[in-house]
Amino acid sequence: MARRRRTDDFEDDGRVIADMSAVERPSLLGHAPARVRERAEAPGERPRGRREPEVRLTTSERVWMALGALKAGLTVGCVYVVVLGLAIVVLLALWSCMQG
């Protein structure tokens, strides 16, 4: 069977779908978040990006957030242990019924 050669009929119409020129490359070590360079805007032009409000947490709020995350992780872990235990009990019951 002969291979068909693919002809490149792609034609660039010059439209910009997503302008990624202002996005910097993130740090490989994860020390600094990816930043977007501020572009000089013409007078009367809307700012392009929204700025998220900066959230400052107290030490006790950080501790409660960490404890909440720990509680959620332990809850999920306990659910997995219970489901696995029930699966083992069901399989043992099935195996004992088949044996005798």
- Domains of the chain, residue spans: 58-100
Quick: pLDDT tens for 40-91: 455 555 556 667 778 888 999 999 999 999 999 999 999 999 999 999 999 9
pLDDT at 23: 78
Nearest to 47 by CA among 36, 57, 38, 56: 38
pLDDT at 3: 66
Tell me the two tokens of residue 54. Answer: 């900066």
The answer to whether 24 and 34 have CB atoms below 8 angstroms apart is yes
Nearest to 20 by CA among 62, 48, 52: 48
